[in-house]
Amino acid sequence: MKFLESLFRLSSNDNETNSSCPTRVQWCSNDSLGYQLCIYSPTVLPTCILALIIGLTTSNSLAKIPGKFPSRWFYTLTFFLYGIMMTSAGILHCFIGDERATADFLTLFVAVVDVGLTSNIAISFLFCGLCDIKFFNPKATVTKYLLFICYFTIFALWTFGILNEWSWIYHVLYDGVIVVCCGLYLLTQLCLKAGRRSLPIMIVGGIYGALGLLATYFSDRVCESEGPFWSQYIGPEFIWFLFSDISVAFLYLYVRRANEQNSADDQIQKYPIDFEKSPMKF
């Protein structure tokens, strides 16, 4: 299980060979019974709590959008899973230390949930886009079965990859799946006439997501620019988590705005108004 420890360090940018990024901050306290509770990377924890709030509120809001919204179920599930994923990420990064990365089944479970949901959320967005352009039928049961089969496959690959120490698993299932699925989702939205007016909102969200991901790739430079003190608190991991929250919030605004615009266009087509006969309405 040494690979789980290396995977944990890779995902949290805690690399002993990286002289620019210092060791993660730990806040520890002892209770009356002598048990020690430590919080690692304490500044990351608020971003995970914020993500849970975003996931719950946005999924609930999308579920209640009035009017025709064929992909409602898929979008609602996607944003809800984001909150769950970031909750597991908070547990993994803030309450499970490196020394416990090989300790027990619970650590393995939380790690698989974290990285597995990250990959599956990207796949969910791809399904949302394919349903938007009617490549998949969002109301068909087979579409939901296909999505859950993808979920199961991703979780299985992550589990076997960690247990068997597949060195390629992180870059393929994490980086690769995110880039490919999110890129394809963007292409599907470019095909939608109603969504084009709201594209700037999605582009802003995409920029935040890309910047957060780049911060993890160029973590050495980020730590050098921030210095040894600030990089402990607002380093690459914090930037990735915070920018992910901002990105998902903008994606929610895009989905809601695009759907509202689509509903408005449907109403205009359903009830056309003659400007010459009804000038007072304008």
CATH code, domain with 36: 1.20.1070
Question: Is 227 domain-assigned?
Answer: yes
Give pTM, 2 decimals: 0.84
CB proximity list for 264: less than 8 A, separation 6 or greater: none
- Token look-up 């582009």 returns 203
Sign of CA dihedral 264, 208, 154, 173: positive
Q: Is residue 225 part of a domain?
A: yes
Tell me how far apart the alpha carbons of residues 252 and 149 are, in angstroms, rounded to a whole number.
25
Kindly report, residue by residue over 44-100, the tens digit of the pLDDT.
999 999 999 999 999 999 998 887 888 999 999 999 999 999 999 999 888 886 555
Q: Report yes or no: 116 and 150 within 8 Å, Cβ to Cβ.
A: no
Handedness of CA 48, 96, 177, 210 (dihedral sign): positive
Q: Which two tokens stand for residue 175?
A: 């980086």
The reported pLDDT for the residue numbered 219 is: 81
Three-state DSSP state, 39: strand
Instruction: Yes or no: say if 241 and 52 are a contact pair by the CB < 8 Å rule.
Output: no
Say what angle helices 236-270 and 219-233 make with each other, to 10 degrees.
100
Model pLDDT, residue 53 = 97
Residue 159 has pLDDT above 80, yes or no: yes
DSSP 98-162: GGGTTT-HHHHHHHHHHHHHHHHHHHHHHHHHHHHTTSS-TT-HHHHHHHHHHHHHHHHHHHHHH
What is the token pair recorded at 231?
């990089």
With respect to residue 271, please indicate whether it lies within any of the assigned structural domains.
no
Residue 135 main-chain phi, psi, to 5 deg: -70, -40
* Predicted confidence (pLDDT) at residue 16 exceeds the cutoff of 50: no
The stretch 35-49 carries a mean pLDDT of 86
Domain that holds residue 34: 2-264
Both tokens assigned to 77? 């599930």
In a domain, 252, yes or no: yes
Is residue 280 a part of any domain in this protein? no
Mean pLDDT of 18-26: 70
Region of residue 196 (phi > 0: left; psi between -120 and 50: alpha; otherwise: beta): alpha
Least confident of 132-141, 146-155, 200-209, 222-231: 222-231
pLDDT at residue 10 tops 70: no
At residue 119's C-alpha, the angle toward residues 114 and 125, to 5°, is 125
Q: Quick one: pLDDT at residue 169? A: 87
What's the pLDDT tens digit per position in 202-254? 999 999 998 998 888 888 888 888 888 888 888 888 999 999 999 999 999 99
Pairing verdict, β 26-30 and 36-40: antiparallel
Asked whether residue 276 is domain-assigned, the answer is no
Please count the structural domains in the chain: 1
What's the pLDDT score for residue 121? 96
Angle formed at CA 57 by CA 63 and CA 44, multiple of 5 degrees: 140
